[in-house]
């Protein structure tokens, strides 16, 4: 091979493909290496929660809920078990199914035990979660501190006391964000890989940004706000589907300081099915792009009054999900780059045994940087045995690159995106989510299965012709695309290709309650 003659391809076209391929690799490798700076910062992070206070200070705990029949009771009882004497629970229940009955039953039971719990229901769901939180604040004007938990969380009893103590240490602190733990981390390879992603986000990104004095964001739950910070920033807004990220940026631009407490942990349930996980990722990616569209110019222009380091950090934070576009391009170009360069003689010194020193430099630097990043994020007992989970996370990240690249594109143009909820199963098991399953279109798995086939063929080609340096990277993509594409295709076959009776009614809110204004949930 490598004779330089292949009639069906023009050398100029091959050169253009390779230039695009190497450009994508170079940018991704640079971005991965930049993330190592956060890893270094996280190692230096020393902020810890102060001793909890026993003062009776009123704290409003808001619980936004939409159709969470399997976890609503668990959430309410966990929050009611807080040992802070000033806690008042506000259940923002926009449910349209029998979650309402669950909430009413548990709330009445807790009231009989002396818990101050208030259920708020709206006539419509305007603004979705942001609208519910804003309405809750309107109905509770006397509270200076506001804690928020989503339906799948189980906060520890001391959460409010510890977070409140950290918030009150300095009057310029507008938010305290806790770390997410994982109730079902070891349920499957999928949940273990997700835990790696989230541990990296909290223990490396949040901790690193906090240590460097850069902006970081409220994650929508497991945090406590100073009400003045919310109001000073303009309040909750629903013009993006990541209202938490949007408010975080506005509050920090107003001068409020955020604290991250890595030693304060609130456990939560990870999506247990592939479809639920991909839906959650789609929401996060699209929402972050919508928020970047809204705020990016603020950080690019020097008149923001922020230091250069803060501006660069915030810019990188807002655009980091654009990396999925480059990852998708690499996934498409990698098999072609392996085969075409070998067939046309476009080689770099290293020969067949090493494949290409340039490819290996870019791919290894990016892969090793990501491995170190997530390795630093491993926390808790048993962290040493969780290193193999990082390989699963790498494959999962590669496999969802095309799906998330589509969401990046959608986020560039969307206005008021629909919020597709991520159903939680609690202790009921996956079968309990049948009523909340959505029809899956072919576009959710055919591209992934096609790319899995292309990478599989390229992997065979590289093995036959001795291009061993390419095999590990082709294999990661093969596993990732095959994993997600296969699991999604199986779910589509299981659930059918069309809308099942009753599904559309449940999603639009016409079953069991007043019709909401849209299909978005927490």
232 burial (CB, 10 Å; 0-12 / 13-18 / 19+) is middle
Q: Is 172 a catalytic residue?
A: no
CA–CA gap between residue 133 and residue 146 (Å, rounded): 10
CA–CA gap between residue 193 and residue 203 (Å, rounded): 15
Contact 146, 230 (CB under 8 A): yes
SS3 sequence, 247-291? HHHHHHHCCCEEEEEEEEEEEECCCCCHHHHHHHHHHHHHHHHHH
Backbone angles phi, psi at 146, to 5 degrees: -135, 115
What's the alpha-carbon Rg for the chain, to the nearest Å?
Answer: 24
* DSSP state letter for 302: G
Q: Is 94 a catalytic residue?
A: yes
58 burial (CB, 10 Å; 0-12 / 13-18 / 19+) is middle
CA–CA gap between residue 503 and residue 223 (Å, rounded): 33
Q: Which residue among 93, 94, 97, 199 is the active-site one?
A: 94
CA–CA gap between residue 481 and residue 487 (Å, rounded): 10
CA distances to 20, 285, 330 from 476, in Å: 21, 22, 12
Q: Which of 141, 147, 20 is nearest to 87 (CA)?
A: 147
Q: Which of 240, 287, 279, 248 is nearest to 408 (CA)?
A: 287
Contact 289, 407 (CB under 8 A): yes
Q: Which residue among 93, 97, 244, 246 is the active-site one?
A: 244
CA–CA gap between residue 242 and residue 262 (Å, rounded): 22
User: From the CB of residue 123, how many other CB atoms can be counted at a distance below 10 Å?
Assistant: 8
Question: Which positions are annotated as active-site residues?
Answer: 94, 244
């Amino acid at each position: 091979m490598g004779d330089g003659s292949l009639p069906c391809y023009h050398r100029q076209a091959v050169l253009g493909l390779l230039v695009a391929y190497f450009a994508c690799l170079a940018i991704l490798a640079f971005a991965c290496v930049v993330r190592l700076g956060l890893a270094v910062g996280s190692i230096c992070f020393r902020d810890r929660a102060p001793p909890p206070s026993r003062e009776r200070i009123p704290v409003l705990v808001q619980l936004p809920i939409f159709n969470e029949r399997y976890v609503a009771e668990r959430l309410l009882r966990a929050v009611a078990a807080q040992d802070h004497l000033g806690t008042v629970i506000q259940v923002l229940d926009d449910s349209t199914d029998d979650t309402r009955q669950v909430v009413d039953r548990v709330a009445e039971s807790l009231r009989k035990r002396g818990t101050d719990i208030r259920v708020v229901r709206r006539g419509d769901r305007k603004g979705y979660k942001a609208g519910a939180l804003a309405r809750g604040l309107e109905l509770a004007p006397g509270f200076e501190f506001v804690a928020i938990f989503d339906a799948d969380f189980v906060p520890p009893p001391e959460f409010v006391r510890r977070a409140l103590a950290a918030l009150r240490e300095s009057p310029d602190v507008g938010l305290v964000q806790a770390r997410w733990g994982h109730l079902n981390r070891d349920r499957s390879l999928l949940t273990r890989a997700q835990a790696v992603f989230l541990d990296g986000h909290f223990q490396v990104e949040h901790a690193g940004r906090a240590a460097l004095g850069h902006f970081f964001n409220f994650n929508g739950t497991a945090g406590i706000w100073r009400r003045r910070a919310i109001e000073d920033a303009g309040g909750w807004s629903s013009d993006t589907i990541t209202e938490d990220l949007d408010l975080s940026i506005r509050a920090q631009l107003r001068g409020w300081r955020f604290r991250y407490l890595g030693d304060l942990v609130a456990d939560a349930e990870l999506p247990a099915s592939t479809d639920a996980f991909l839906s959650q990722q789609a929401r996060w990616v699209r929402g972050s792009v919508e928020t970047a569209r809204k705020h990016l110019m603020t950080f690019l222009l020097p008149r923001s009054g922020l230091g250069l380091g803060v501006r660069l950090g915030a810019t990188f934070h807002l655009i980091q999900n654009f990396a999925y576009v480059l990852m998708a391009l690499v996934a498409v170009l990698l098999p072609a780059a392996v085969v075409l360069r070998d067939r046309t003689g476009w080689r770099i010194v290293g020969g067949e045994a090493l494949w290409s020193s340039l490819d290996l430099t870019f791919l290894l630097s990016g892969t090793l940087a990501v491995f170190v990043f997530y390795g630093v994020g491993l926390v808790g007992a048993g962290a040493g045995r969780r290193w193999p989970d990082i390989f699963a996370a790498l494959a999962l990240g590669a496999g969802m690159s095309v799906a998330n690249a589509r969401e990046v594109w959608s986020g560039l143009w969307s206005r008021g995106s629909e919020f597709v909820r991520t159903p939680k199963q609690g202790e009921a098991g996956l079968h309990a989510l049948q009523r909340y399953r959505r029809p899956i279109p072919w576009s959710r798995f055919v591209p992934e299965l096609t790319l899995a086939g292309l990478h599989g063929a390229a992997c065979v080609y590289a093995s036959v012709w001795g291009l061993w340096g390419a095999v590990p990277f082709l294999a990661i993509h093969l596993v990732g695309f095959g994993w997600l594409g296969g699991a999604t295709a199986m779910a589509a076959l299981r659930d059918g290709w069309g809308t099942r009776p009753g599904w559309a009614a449940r999603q639009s809110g016409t079953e069991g309650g007043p019709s909401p204004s849209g299909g978005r949930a927490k």
